């Protein structure tokens, strides 16, 4: 395929990254915005204001991962459908609003003391009037012990969720004009992103020899010096699931036609080099390349699940576990008209990150503590609430911690 033809058929998504993009271990560590904080339930209960300020803990708890012990007083859904977890310690009670319910919550025997690990988000009010704290999907309730410890006899309850994105289905298109505009809101530090001007994009579909639908989402992005980078993202519909098969990139100098920095990765048949153990490992089926996530995220399973856990691969290092969850709807003014959109918030799954690192089990606790330093907040995608759930807006970093932050909006 010629460079000109590739440019004419370039991708649905803008050059979007993710705070948890793979390869983050090679970058300079960001100033931590979160850290695991051991507390008493009473310190969580007294937290007030948008930042959940706790005077006795002498810190704001919003965005922080906390741990404490408590009894489970109530779990399940309210009559309005909100997923809740009510915790008690003596006369103190705290209500958590979760992205979804805990799996097999019946194992959490009333009267027993449980260890709770949760990343706190913001104060909210339930439909029944109760004050609550919204928490992120990595909340879990477990048998008391070390935070990263999981013994065979332990009870561990975490939020239910899917592990694959769906085919929305993706709709073929071709556009010579950019579909998105990017506005850099923070230049970042230590990581440059040259290709931040979206150009042409396209998405093609075909059947493989087994009759399965294949997609190729292609896009071209331009740098300030005129260089262009074309990205190809190949997906397959596996029984309704959107599996990523291959990802490739090439840079082209339009003046000379010279190609450079050309590479591709087959996520189905190739292996990655685990930089911790130096072993070759296979990609998990729910691995998506970071530059292709803005296409794949249209497959968030709206209507069937509220939480998804996947891996994001940035081309080096290990694929990074992330979570995504639906955080409500709102109306956006995009493409010259108001459109109903669902917010999908995504962040680093610290606990799963430590489990994914190939280290001896005795080091697992240190791996989780180290992973926590790299949580630097969440990114947010807004996808159209109506099928095929196209990405309408993005806010967050264009890559790992230290990368520029941007707002990306759909204009056509």
Give every residue of the chain whose pLDDT is below 70, as ranges: 1-36, 276-277, 354-376
Task: Classify residue 157: in a domain, yes or no.
Answer: no
Domain co-membership, 208 together with 108: no
The phi and psi torsions of 363 (rounded to 5 degrees) equal -95, 0
Q: 121 with 77: CB under 8 angstroms?
A: no
What does the pLDDT read at residue 201? Answer: 97
Name the strand (E) or helix (H) holding 222: strand 213-222
The domain total for the chain is 2
Domain co-membership, 56 together with 199: no
Domain co-membership, 239 together with 373: yes
Domain termination residue (choose one: 95, 111, 146): 146
Rg (CA), the chain: 22
Residue 372 tokens, joined: 């926590």
The phi and psi torsions of 44 (rounded to 5 degrees) equal -70, -40
Task: Classify residue 151: in a domain, yes or no.
Answer: no
Range of the domain at 406: 3-31+163-410
Domain co-membership, 90 together with 238: no
Domain co-membership, 353 together with 249: yes
What does the pLDDT read at residue 368? Answer: 57
Q: 123 with 132: CB under 8 angstroms?
A: yes
What does the pLDDT read at residue 139? Answer: 94
Domain termination residue (choose one: 94, 114, 146): 146
The phi and psi torsions of 105 (rounded to 5 degrees) equal -65, -15
Domain co-membership, 369 together with 333: yes
What does the pLDDT read at residue 38? Answer: 87
Domain co-membership, 130 together with 190: no
Domain co-membership, 9 together with 41: no
Domain co-membership, 44 together with 19: no
What does the pLDDT read at residue 121? Answer: 96
Task: Classify residue 195: in a domain, yes or no.
Answer: yes
What does the pLDDT read at residue 96? Answer: 98
What does the pLDDT read at residue 361? Answer: 56
What does the pLDDT read at residue 399? Answer: 81
Domain termination residue (choose one: 98, 113, 146): 146
What does the pLDDT read at residue 35? Answer: 46
Task: Classify residue 154: in a domain, yes or no.
Answer: no
Angle at CA 90, nearest 5°, toward 89 and 91?
105
Handedness of CA 133, 137, 141, 145 (dihedral sign): negative
Q: Strand, helix or coil at 299?
A: helix
Alpha carbon separation from 367 to 36, 199, 204, 360 (Å, rounded): 13, 41, 41, 10
């Amino acid at each position: 395929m010629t460079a000109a033809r590739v440019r004419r058929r370039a991708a649905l998504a803008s050059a979007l990254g993710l705070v948890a993009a793979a390869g983050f271990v090679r970058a300079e560590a960001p100033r931590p915005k979160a850290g695991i904080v051991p507390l008493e339930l009473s310190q969580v209960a007294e937290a007030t204001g948008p930042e959940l300020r706790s005077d006795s803990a002498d810190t704001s708890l919003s965005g922080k991962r906390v741990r404490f012990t408590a009894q489970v007083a109530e779990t399940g859904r309210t009559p309005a459908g909100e997923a809740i977890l009510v915790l008690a310690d003596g006369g103190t009670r705290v209500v958590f609003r979760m992205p979804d319910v805990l799996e097999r919550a019946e194992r959490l025997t009333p009267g027993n003391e449980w260890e709770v690990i949760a990343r706190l988000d913001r104060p909210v009010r339930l439909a029944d009037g109760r004050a609550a704290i919204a928490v992120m999907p990595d909340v879990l309730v477990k048998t008391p012990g070390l935070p990263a410890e999981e013994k065979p006899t332990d009870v561990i309850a975490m939020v239910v969720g899917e592990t694959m994105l769906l085919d929305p289905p993706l709709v073929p298109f071709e556009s010579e004009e950019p579909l998105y505009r990017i506005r850099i809101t923070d230049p970042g530090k230590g990581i440059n992103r040259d290709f931040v001007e979206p150009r042409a994009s396209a998405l093609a579909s075909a059947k493989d020899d087994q009759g399965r639908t294949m997609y190729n989402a292609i896009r071209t992005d331009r740098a300030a010096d005129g260089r262009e980078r074309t990205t190809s993202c190949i997906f397959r519909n596996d029984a309704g699931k959107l599996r990523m098969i291959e990802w490739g990139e090439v840079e082209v100098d339009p003046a000379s036609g010279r190609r450079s920095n050309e590479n591709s990765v087959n996520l189905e048949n190739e292996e990655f080099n685990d930089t911790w153990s130096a072993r070759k490992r296979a990609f998990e089926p729910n691995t998506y390349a970071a530059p292709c996530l803005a296409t794949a995220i249209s497959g968030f399973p709206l209507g069937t699940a509220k939480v998804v856990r996947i891996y994001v691969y940035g081309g080096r290092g290990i694929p990074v576990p992330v979570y995504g969850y639906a955080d409500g709807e709102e109306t956006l003014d995009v493409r010259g008209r108001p459109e109903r959109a669902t917010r999908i918030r995504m962040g680093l799954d610290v606990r799963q990150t430590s489990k994914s690192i190939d280290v001896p089990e005795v080091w697992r606790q240190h791996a989780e503590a180290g992973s926590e330093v790299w949580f630097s907040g969440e990114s947010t995608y807004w996808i159209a609430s109506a099928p095929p759930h196209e990405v309408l807006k993005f806010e967050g970093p264009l890559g790992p911690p230290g990368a520029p932050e941007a707002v990306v909006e759909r204009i056509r």
